[in-house]
């Protein structure tokens, strides 16, 4: 491998000839050989957007000449398009401020820009990082990346699953089944009502996510090193936020208090709390689906779900609810990630949080897993859910909790006696009620109508 010599404030460093990164990236690459978790691609893309917006603003206010601005924008577009991904090798487990990833982007833009220009026009600090500090660019990139990932990936996947449940509600109107509480038989419910509970839970999660996105739209850029805005024009933060809004099509704003924006990660905790709420609801829904589909002969068996692959290497013909299992494992990971995000956010010391890479790594992993998981569950399971009407009717009419229908006519205690006798003797509620002398057979038939109990 051929090397070239790059220089930073600490001296000379040998860098692979074919790589666009520079001395500070190489130092980090050498000194932090920890794990396999790379800085998320979403963060690199967010940095590219931010560097382009910053260059345009610096040019507009007269700090950066047009030629250098054009070069920065051109390379930033290449990075955003994923054309230079091999030039971002750094791991999550680096400096807690993310400084080395900020410099990785600065160096790649400078070296690639100079290659395009055919002369050394760009300096990573003086031009690409103009009016910025790693301490305000990394938290800004975190918010941009989280906002874009939720908007472009998570919300569409969530909306699609909500739409599927709305269709299932319509398709299953008029089907009455046994309700269940405490994993025990309960009073009847329409299957469409049960599905509506799933749908409404996801709609509430969507509202919470949208509320959290409004908070994540606040950007730290303009605060520079400690929040004072040293070396940045006063209007830089607001102008860059506006530029990012125009470029992304999403509303961003400059944080009112940059001291808060640099050290607190409360907005990301809020967002991840909404992600955790979604994960919890998805876990519940997936459990409902797999329990309702359990069987085929020894379980509840009230619904059919798609059979996608063999379920056992030893039991021929076995098919398992694998999409439900994948979704519940994702929920476990997201809920675990919430602990990491919360702990990372609590570690702001004085003017800076130094747990930022691990914080955003977990946020973006949760968004990615939930997005992919919902798409997979929707495509391979939810859209194919169908009711086993015969089994639902059998379970409904065998439920002892239908005794609730006659409780207003014979009283709570007599209804309880009826249910207990029916269970002990393995007879119907009607037989038990008549044998106890609480109602005649004709009276029982008149008041006992399970389909009207919903």
Say which of 85, 312, 346, 435 is annotated catalytic: 312
User: Do the bridges between strand 3-8 and strand 176-181 make them parallel or antiparallel, or are there none, so unpaired?
Assistant: unpaired
DSSP 119: S
DSSP code per residue over 50-116: HHHHHHHHHHHTTSS-HHHHHHHHHHHHHHHTTTTGGG---BSSS-TT-HHHHHHHHHHHHHHHHHH
Indicate the burial class of 249 (C-beta count within 10 angstroms; 0-12, 13-18, 19 or more): exposed
DSSP 153: I
Three-state SS at 118 = coil
Instruction: Please work out, in degrees rounded to the nearest 5, the angle formed at the alpha carbon of residue 246 by the alpha carbons of 245 and 247.
Output: 95
152 is an active site residue: no
The residues near 249 (Cβ < 8 Å, ≥ 6 apart) are: none
Say which of 134, 143, 152, 182 is annotated catalytic: 182
For the chain, helix, strand, coil in percent to 5 are 65, 10, 30
Q: Kindly list the distances between the CA atom of residue 224 and the CA atoms of 8, 160, 194, 230, 234, in Å, as whole numbers in the listed order.
A: 20, 40, 52, 6, 11
How many C-beta atoms surround the C-beta of residue 411 within 10 A?
Answer: 12
The residues near 144 (Cβ < 8 Å, ≥ 6 apart) are: 46, 49, 50, 219, 244, 248, 252
The first and second tokens of residue 147, run together, are 């906002």
260 is an active site residue: no
The CA distance from 123 to 182, in Å, is 65
Residues with catalytic annotation?
182, 312
């Amino acid at each position: 491998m051929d090397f070239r010599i790059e220089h930073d404030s600490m001296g000379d460093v040998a860098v692979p000839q074919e790589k666009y990164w520079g001395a500070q990236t190489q130092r980090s690459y050498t000194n932090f050989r920890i794990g396999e978790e790379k800085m998320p691609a979403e963060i690199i893309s967010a940095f590219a957007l931010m560097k382009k917006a910053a260059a345009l603003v610096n040019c507009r206010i007269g700090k950066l000449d047009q030629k250098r601005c054009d070069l920065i924008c051109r390379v930033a577009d290449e990075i955003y398009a994923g054309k230079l991904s091999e030039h971002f090798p750094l791991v999550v487990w680096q400096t807690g401020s993310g400084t080395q990833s900020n410099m990785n982007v600065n160096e790649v833009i400078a070296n690639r820009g100079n290659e395009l220009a055919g002369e050394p026009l760009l300096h990573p600090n003086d031009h690409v990082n103009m009016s910025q500090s790693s301490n305000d660019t990394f938290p800004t990139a975190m918010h941009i990346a989280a906002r874009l990932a939720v908007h472009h990936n998570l919300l569409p996947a969530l909306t699609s699953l909500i739409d599927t449940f709305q269709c299932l509600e319509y398709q299953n109107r008029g089907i009455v089944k046994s309700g269940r509480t405490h994993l025990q038989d309960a009073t009847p419910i329409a299957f469409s009502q049960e599905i509506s509970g799933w749908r409404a839970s996801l709609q509430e999660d969507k509202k919470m996510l949208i509320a959290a996105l409004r908070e994540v739209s606040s950007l730290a850029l303009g605060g520079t090193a400690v929040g004072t805005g040293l070396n940045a024009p006063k209007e830089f933060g607001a102008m860059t936020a506006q530029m990012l809004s125009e470029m992304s099509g999403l509303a961003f704003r400059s944080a009112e208090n940059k001291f808060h924006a640099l050290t607190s990660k409360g907005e990301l905790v809020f967002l991840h709390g909404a992600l955790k709420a979604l994960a919890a609801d998805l876990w519940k829904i997936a459990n409902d689906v797999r329990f309702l589909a359990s069987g085929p002969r020894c379980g509840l068996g009230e619904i059919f779900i798609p059979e996608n692959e063999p379920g056992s290497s030893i039991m021929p013909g076995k098919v398992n609810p694998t999409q439900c299992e994948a979704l519940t494992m994702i929920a476990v990971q997201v809920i675990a990630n919430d602990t990491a995000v919360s702990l990372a956010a609590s570690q702001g010391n004085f003017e800076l949080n130094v747990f930022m890479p691990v914080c955003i790594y977990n946020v973006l992993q949760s968004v990615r897993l939930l997005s992919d998981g919902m798409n997979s569950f929707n495509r391979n399971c939810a859209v194919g859910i169908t009711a086993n009407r015969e089994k639902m009717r059998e379970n409904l009419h065998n439920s002892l909790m239908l005794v609730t229908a006659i409780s207003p006519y014979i009283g709570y205690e007599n209804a309880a006696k009826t249910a207990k006798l029916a269970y002990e003797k393995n007879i119907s509620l009607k037989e038990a009620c008549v044998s106890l002398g609480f109602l005649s057979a004709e009276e029982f038939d008149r008041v006992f109508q399970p389909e009207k109990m919903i």
